[in-house]
Amino acid sequence: MDQDSGASTVVENAYIQAMQPKEGALPNIEDVAQAAGVSTATVSRVLNRPESVREALRLRVLAAVAQLGYVPHAGARSLKLQRSGTVGAVFPTVDNAIFAKAIEALQQRLADAGLQLLIATCGYDPVAEARQAINLMTRGADALVLCGAGQSPELLQVLRQRELPTVHAMTYPAPEGLVSVGFDNARAVGQAVRYLLDLGHRHVAMLAGVARHNDRATARISGVRAALEKCGLALAPQHLVERPYGLAEAREGFRVLMASRPTPTAIVCGNDVLAFGALLEARKLGIAVPEALSVVGFDDLEMARHIHPTLTTLHVPTEQLWHTVADRVIAALEQAPVPPATEVEVELVVRESTGVAPQGDRG
C-alpha cells in the first residue's frame, strides 16, 4: 500500500469515528494544528485552498480534522473571506423530475468548486419567489440562481442594487442586463409543431402549463401559435387548455380538449408530465395513439422512454444546462468575465406517440 492510499484510509476511518459524540470542549484550529504537526496557517490553507497544499500534507491535516471532530466555524470563515461560500437557488417546485435533475447537476458542480447550495421553492408565485430570494440573501448567499426571467420588478431592482451575481436559467435570451443560460422556449416548441404539420395534422391543440406568472409556459404557447400561423393556421381558443403540471390535472385537461370541435388530431403538451397524463387518459378513453391522435411532450424525462407508447418529446440537455449555470455563478464570484446569454440546444426526439394524421383529417 502506498503512502497516499494509506493516508486516505486513515481519513475515512477517522471520519467514521468523528461521528461519535465527544466529551469535553470542542476542538479548535490550534488543536488540529498540534495534532497534525503543522501551523494554524497550514490548516487554514487545507480547509480553504486545498489545491495550494501538497497531497500528503493535505491528507495528514484532514486526518487530524476528522480524528478530533473539528468543524470550522462558518461565521468566522465568512468574516475572514468576506464570503459565505453558499449559493441560493429558488425553484418553482421540487415535485417535478426536471427540477430534481437540475438540483442534482447544479449542486454537483458547485460542490466541486467548494460551494454549498441552498434551495427554496416558490410554487410559481412571484411574490413568494421574491420573498425566498431575499431570505437567501439575508442568510448570506454569495449568488442566486432563478428560473426564467419573469421575476417581479421589485426583486430585480433589489438584485441590481445589491449587485448580487444572479443567473437566470431555462430562458434565452434574457432581458438586457440579466445573465441567462437556457433555450428559446418558443422556438423549441415550434420544432414539434412543424413536425406535426409535416405529418399532415391540421387540427393541432395545446395542453399547456398555467401561463400566469410563468414566462416559460407563456413562451411555449406563443411558439405553438406562431408556428401554426406561419402555415396559415390558428390555435383555436377551444384548442388551448392550461393546467397545472400534474397527472390528474393533465387528464382532466385532455378530456376537455378531446370534447372540443373540431376534435384535435395532435396535442402539443407544455411538458412531459402533461403528456403522460394525456397518454394515460387516451388509453382509458380508448383513443388510439398515434393512429387517431398524436401527442408530443417537452423535457424528455426518463419515463418518456418507458411509458407506452413511448413519448415523442423535446429533449432538454438538463445536466449540461445546469452545469453551465453553475459555471457562470463560479465565474462571477471569481470576478471573471461572464457572457450575458448562453444558449443550449433543444432537439425533437421522435418516438411512438406521433404518426401521420388520420386519413380524413390530413392536410
The model's pTM: 0.79
Which comes out higher in pLDDT, residue 200 or 27?
200
Bridge-based pairing of strands 86-91 and 143-147 is parallel
Domains, the chain, with CATH or none:
3-72 (1.10.260), 84-183+318-345 (3.40.50.2300), 185-316+348-361 (3.40.50.2300)
The model's confidence at residue 72, banded by pLDDT at 50, 70 and 90, is low
User: What cell does 327 get?
Assistant: 459555471
Which comes out higher in pLDDT, residue 83 or 190?
190
User: What cell does 341 get?
Assistant: 446569454
Is 60 exceeded by the pLDDT of residue 11? no
The model's confidence at residue 86, banded by pLDDT at 50, 70 and 90, is very high
DSSP annotation of 363 reads -
> What pLDDT score does 82 carry?
55
> What pLDDT score does 163 carry?
92
Q: What contacts 6, CB < 8 A, 6 or more positions away?
A: none
> What pLDDT score does 81 carry?
46
Is 90 exceeded by the pLDDT of residue 343? yes
The model's confidence at residue 9, banded by pLDDT at 50, 70 and 90, is low
Q: Are 75 and 68 in contact (CB under 8 A)?
A: no
Q: What is the pLDDT of residues 207-249, one digit of tens each?
A: 999 999 999 999 999 999 999 999 999 999 999 999 999 999 9
User: What cell does 276 get?
Assistant: 403522460
> What pLDDT score does 20 carry?
45
Query: Span 323-350, mean pLDDT?
Result: 96
Q: What is the pLDDT of residues 146-174, one digit of tens each?
A: 999 999 999 999 999 999 999 999 999 88
Is 50 exceeded by the pLDDT of residue 16? no
* Separation of alpha carbons 31 and 297, rounded Å: 58
> What pLDDT score does 5 carry?
52
Give CA separation, 288 vs 170, 263, 357, in Å. 33, 14, 12
Bridge-based pairing of strands 204-208 and 266-269 is parallel
Q: What is the pLDDT of residues 268-301, one digit of tens each?
A: 999 999 999 999 999 999 999 999 999 999 999 9
Which comes out higher in pLDDT, residue 53 or 99?
99
